[in-house]
Amino acid sequence: MNLKDVIVCRCEDLTLEDVRKAIAEGYISWDELKRVLRIGLGPCGGKTCRLLVLRELANHLMLSVDQVNYRPTVVRPPLRSTSFEVFLKEENG
């Protein structure tokens, strides 16, 4: 398997190689990887990549996925990309 050919994040065009390299550099949490790769910060909001990345972290740290350090209390709405117009009070009366 060529790690360069495995797309992990479609929004930011990141491969498995990118993810493993960042983990090897010491960015060993979901929140740090978000910041250094912008993974999970695209339009999908991490719904595609997050579990894949957590599994990579779990393998690296030799933990189970539920033990991998991330901030479960930090919620980042909206659930899916939503236009400003949807929230306009005047137009929606």
Residues that bind other proteins in the complex, under the rule CB under 8 A: 29, 31-32, 35-36, 38, 41-43, 45, 69, 74-78, 81-90
One DSSP character per residue, 48-72 reads TTHHHHHHHHHHHHTS-GGGS---T
In this structure, how many other beta carbons lie within 10 angstroms of the beta carbon of residue 14?
22
Q: Which is nearer to other proteins, 5 or 80 (CB)?
A: 80
What is the closest distance, in whole angstroms, from the C-beta atom of residue 4 to other proteins in the complex? 19
Q: Which is nearer to other proteins, 62 or 74 (CB)?
A: 74
